[in-house]
């Protein structure tokens, strides 16, 4: 307990930054991922190609390389200066969006084709059909995999510790510099992530019960 109590400010500050990084990246990745899913099911071949290319490239690129690009390579382009925290948000958002896209697309595929055909018969455009008919039904069926994606995002925030972003992944280094027991500190960090994951799991269960749909 002494490792935790003696460094309580460090743990609170680091996990607070982790939560902030997670929240911002989660919102951005959900928005971008949903837009990418719309591209992937679009009737326009060019849009489908753009969505497919993005997902294929990003999903097969290690997250660390995405960080390396935005932290070290992107500044060399001299387009827009970004801080390490902003680079971390962009990296996590762009990377996670590819997985969110596939989750949403799988949900769209569970909606009966007759729903889309009926929408077109009523004169709805593709955007209206997707936003008003298909997506509301699709999102109900993707709660468990989407929660798993968000949990993976939460854990991926630790990668930012290697790129000058202060969050839970940095606790080990600071404990080592102070001469504290690093192993015990890592156990507390692991417990902290377990505690952070629990609300996500609870939210998943709540939405599953509320949005349960008989297929």
Tell me the mean pLDDT per 10 residues along the chain, length 215: 65 80 92 90 87 91 88 77 84 93 87 75 76 78 85 85 61 65 73 81 76 53
Cα angle vertex 22, ends 21, 23, to 5°?
Answer: 95
So what's the pLDDT on residue 167?
Answer: 59
What the chain holds in terms of domains, given with CATH numbers, is 2-210 (1.10.3720.10)
pTM of the model: 0.80
Sign of the Cα pseudo-torsion (86, 88, 91, 96, in order): negative
So what's the pLDDT on residue 215?
Answer: 45
- Percentage above 70 pLDDT, the chain: 83
DSSP secondary structure letters along 93-138:
HHHHHHHHHHHHHHHHHHS-HHHHHHHHHTT--HHHHIIIIIHHHH
So what's the pLDDT on residue 171?
Answer: 67
So what's the pLDDT on residue 13?
Answer: 76
Neighbours of 11 (CB within 10 A): 20
């Amino acid at each position: 307990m002494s490792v935790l109590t003696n460094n309580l400010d460090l743990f609170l500050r680091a996990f607070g930054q982790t939560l902030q990084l997670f929240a911002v990246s989660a919102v951005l990745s959900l928005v971008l991922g949903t837009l990418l899913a719309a591209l992937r099911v679009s009737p326009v071949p060019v849009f489908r190609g753009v969505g497919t290319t993005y997902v294929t490239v990003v999903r097969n690129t290690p997250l660390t390389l995405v960080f390396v690009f935005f932290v070290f390579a992107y500044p060399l382009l001299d387009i827009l200066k970004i801080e390490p925290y902003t680079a971390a948000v962009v990296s996590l958002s762009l990377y996670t969006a590819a997985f969110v896209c596939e989750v949403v697309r799988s949900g769209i595929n569970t909606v009966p084709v007759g729903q889309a055909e009926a929408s077109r018969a009523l004169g709805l455009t593709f955007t209206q059909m997707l936003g008003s008919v298909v997506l509301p039904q699709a999102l109900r069926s993707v709660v468990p995999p989407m929660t798993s994606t968000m949990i993976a995002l939460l854990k991926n925030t630790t990668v930012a510790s290697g790129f000058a972003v202060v969050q839970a992944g940095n606790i080990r280094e600071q404990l080592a510099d102070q001469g504290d027991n690093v192993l015990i500190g890592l156990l507390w960090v692991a417990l902290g992530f377990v505690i952070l994951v629990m609300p996500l799991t609870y939210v998943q269960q709540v939405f599953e019960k509320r949005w349960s749909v008989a297929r």
